């Protein structure tokens, strides 16, 4: 802020333009010890005593009034010359505004704390690292424990270590800056993300001697980005599934229309023969019934999602709706040349359930099993009671499921890739609808398979008494 020259006793004799510019004092005002008028009244005695004792200290701090009348916190640094070195006996010094520096440092600390930024410095010749408490926190350490550069390097996630090492080595070699985000493993084993930015300090030969910079814990940001990406991927996948579903729906609904249209045309041309009429009528009826089933499934899914389906619970013998489901699917299984067994139907199991929906759920499982079980394969329906639960199991010899597909097979719009070729039509919503109906009953549905080629076991458990 200012430079000055004083006598060894501390008085001004020569003009001091730098001091005058700072304090606004004219030469006549600061001559002798008049310059003390610019020193804060509470600090004057201490400053005068300092000079009376020969200004032996290296630094003197006090408050000084500038030309605007503002009190500044300053430090005065003094060098004394006694005349033995050829210079006239005098004291020379400079004034620094340390208050502004301290305020700037305080603002910096607040900014660092607010941004959870830790500072660090590494001496490249010794490998010694000094870092702030926040820096240690960013690596899962307590602010009051020692944290070495070796410990920092060891905390870098193994999958990120080579990249981190290459970036730092490149900065040291080039004497430049670097920025990198990477995973760090905390002492408790948890994984966090940090962003580190640093730069090199160079010696006279342009070689890096120290690294300095900041570290920021960006774990929350990384997790938010990952969550956003997962949501975007899920939305894209869901959109693709819906598009595929609509394409399958259009194909499935259009499929029966051809035979129905052909039957109507044949009736028009060959309507005199009663046998032909009956065969064509039966053909049209089968195709229309198939369309009705598809549309009913779609409507049921939509009603459940809107909360419009209400169960009609009553005390029922579980065997009754299950036999209706067997009767509905029996012709399809016979047409596929499949064998069917029922187990556990020798005694009644009474439960509070909606008989129509129980039949629908069992029919969906049996129909699904028949679609994917090869000819002469076995399909078994088991009914049992386990404590306060009724359990319905459909076990088959179908193509089986990969373990990774078991959790997805009951999802809406989901068709397992390795089963699409074996499907005998359908929209792939039967299991999704069944799961929703099971949940409305307060029950659970589960799928199990030993893998591809080992068949599947679908089980439904329903409470015997409703809450």
- For the record, the structure tokens of 375 come out as 């000819």
Q: Mind listing the pLDDT tens digit for each residue in 28-72?
A: 888 888 889 999 999 999 888 888 887 776 688 899 998 888 898
Q: Mind listing the pLDDT tens digit for each residue in 408-466?
A: 566 655 554 444 444 444 456 778 788 888 998 999 998 888 877 778 889 999 999 76
- Domain residue extents for the chain: 2-103, 116-217, 227-304, 310-463
* CATH class given for the domain over 310-463: alpha beta
CA distance 214 to 423: 59
CB of 358 within 8 A of CB of 404? no
CB of 12 within 8 A of CB of 6? yes
Q: Could you check whether 116-217 and 310-463 share the same CATH topology?
A: no
Look at residue 364 in the predicted model and tell me its pLDDT.
86
3-state secondary structure 229-261: HHHHHHHHHHHHHHHHHHHHHHHHHHCCHHHHH
Measured between alpha carbons, how far is residue 346 from residues 317, 328, 349 in Å?
Answer: 12, 21, 10
DSSP string, 13-30: -S--HHHHHHH---HHHH
Q: What number does CATH give the domain 2-103?
A: 3.30.450.20
Measured between alpha carbons, how far is residue 361 from residues 368, 388, 422 in Å?
Answer: 11, 20, 21
Look at residue 390 in the predicted model and tell me its pLDDT.
94
Kindly give, in sequence order, each residue whose CB lies less than 8 Å from that of residue 372, ignoring residues fewer than 6 positions away: 396, 398, 399, 419, 422, 423, 456
Please state, for a pLDDT cut of 70, what percent of the chain lies above it.
Answer: 85
Q: Mind listing the pLDDT tens digit for each residue in 279-288?
A: 777 777 777 7
Q: What are phi and psi of 44, to 5 degrees?
A: -65, -45
- Strand residue runs (E) in 98-176: 117-123, 129-131
Look at residue 419 in the predicted model and tell me its pLDDT.
47
- For the record, the structure tokens of 195 come out as 């962003």
Q: What is the mean pLDDT of residues 243-257?
A: 66
Q: What are phi and psi of 146, to 5 degrees?
A: -75, 140
**Strand 378-386 and strand 339-343: pairing?**
parallel
Look at residue 424 in the predicted model and tell me its pLDDT.
47
CB of 319 within 8 A of CB of 348? yes
Measured between alpha carbons, how far is residue 266 from residues 258, 259, 261, 283 in Å?
Answer: 12, 10, 9, 11
Asked which of 5-19, 245-259, 409-423, 424-438 is least confident by mean pLDDT, the reply is 409-423
CB of 315 within 8 A of CB of 352? yes
- For the record, the structure tokens of 200 come out as 């090199």
Confidence of residue 152 (pLDDT cuts 50, 70, 90): very high
Q: What number does CATH give the domain 227-304?
A: 1.10.287.130
Q: Mind listing the pLDDT tens digit for each residue in 346-377?
A: 999 999 999 988 998 998 899 888 888 888 88
Answer with the residue of higher pLDDT: 342 or 402: 342
Q: Is the dihedral of CA 183, 185, 191, 196 positive or negative?
A: negative
| Residue keyed to tokens 């419009």 | 308
CA distance 58 to 45: 18
- For the record, the structure tokens of 357 come out as 């929906």
- Strand residue runs (E) in 124-271: 129-131, 177-185, 191-202, 208-217
CA distance 107 to 320: 78
CB of 452 within 8 A of CB of 421? no
- Superfamily the domain 116-217 falls into: PAS domain (3.30.450.20)
Look at residue 106 in the predicted model and tell me its pLDDT.
65
Which candidate, 301, 294, 385, 296, places its Cα nearest to that of 345? Answer: 385
Measured between alpha carbons, how far is residue 423 from residues 240, 368, 418, 430 in Å?
Answer: 20, 9, 10, 12
CA distance 171 to 189: 29
The pLDDT mean for the chain works out to 82
Which candidate, 454, 451, 414, 419, places its Cα nearest to that of 431? Answer: 414
Confidence of residue 159 (pLDDT cuts 50, 70, 90): very high
């Amino acid at each position: 802020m200012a430079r000055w020259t004083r006598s060894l006793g501390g008085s001004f004799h020569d003009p001091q333009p730098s001091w005058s510019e700072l304090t606004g004092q004219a030469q006549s005002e600061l001559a002798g010890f008049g310059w003390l008028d610019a020193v804060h009244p509470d600090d004057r005695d201490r400053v005068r005593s300092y000079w009376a004792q020969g200004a032996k200290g290296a630094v003197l701090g006090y408050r000084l009034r500038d030309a605007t009348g503002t009190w500044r916190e300053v430090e005065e640094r003094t060098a004394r010359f006694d005349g033995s070195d050829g210079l006239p006996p005098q004291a020379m010094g400079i004034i620094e505004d340390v208050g502004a520096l301290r305020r700037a440092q305080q603002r910096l600390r607040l900014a660092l704390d607010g941004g959870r930024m830790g500072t660090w410095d590494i001496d490249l010749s010794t490998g010694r690292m000094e870092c702030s408490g926040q820096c240690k926190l960013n690596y899962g350490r307590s602010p009051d424990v020692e944290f070495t550069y070796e410990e920092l390097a060891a905390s870098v996630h193994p999958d990120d270590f080579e990249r981190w090492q290459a970036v730092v080595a490149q900065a040291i070699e080039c004497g430049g800056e670097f920025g990198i985000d990477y995973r760090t493993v905390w002492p408790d084993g948890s994984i966090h993300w940090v962003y580190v930015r640093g730069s090199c300090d160079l010696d006279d030969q342009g070689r890096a001697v120290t690294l300095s910079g900041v570290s920021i814990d960006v774990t929350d940001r990384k997790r938010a980005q990952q969550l956003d990406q997962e949501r975007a991927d899920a939305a894209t996948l869901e959109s693709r599934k819906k598009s595929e579903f609509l394409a399958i729906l259009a194909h499935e609904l259009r499929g029966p229309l051809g035979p129905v249209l052909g039957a109507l045309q044949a009736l028009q041309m060959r309507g005199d023969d009663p046998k032909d009429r009956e065969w064509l009528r039966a053909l049209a009826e089968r195709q229309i019934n198939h369309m009705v089933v598809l549309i009913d499934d779609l409507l049921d899914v939509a009603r459940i999602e809107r909360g419009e389906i209400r169960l009609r619970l009553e005390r029922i013998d579980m065997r009754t709706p299950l036999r209706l489901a067997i009767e509905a699917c029996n012709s399809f299984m016979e047409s596929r040349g499949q064998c069917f067994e029922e187990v556990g139907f020798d005694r009644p199991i009474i439960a509070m359930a909606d008989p129509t929906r129980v039949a629908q759920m069992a029919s969906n499982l049996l129909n699904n099993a028949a679609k994917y079980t090869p000819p002469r394969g076995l399909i078994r329906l088991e009914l049992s009671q386990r404590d306060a639960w009724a359990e319905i199991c459909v076990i088959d010899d179908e193509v089986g499921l990969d373990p990774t597909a078991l959790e997805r097979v009951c999802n809406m719009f989901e068709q397992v890739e390795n089963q699409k070729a074996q499907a005998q039509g359908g929209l792939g919503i039967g299991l999704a609808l069944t799961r929703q109906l099971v949940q409305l009953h307060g029950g659970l549905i589960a799928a199990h398979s030993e893998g591809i080629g080992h068949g599947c076991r679908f089980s439904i458990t329903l409470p015997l008494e409703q809450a």
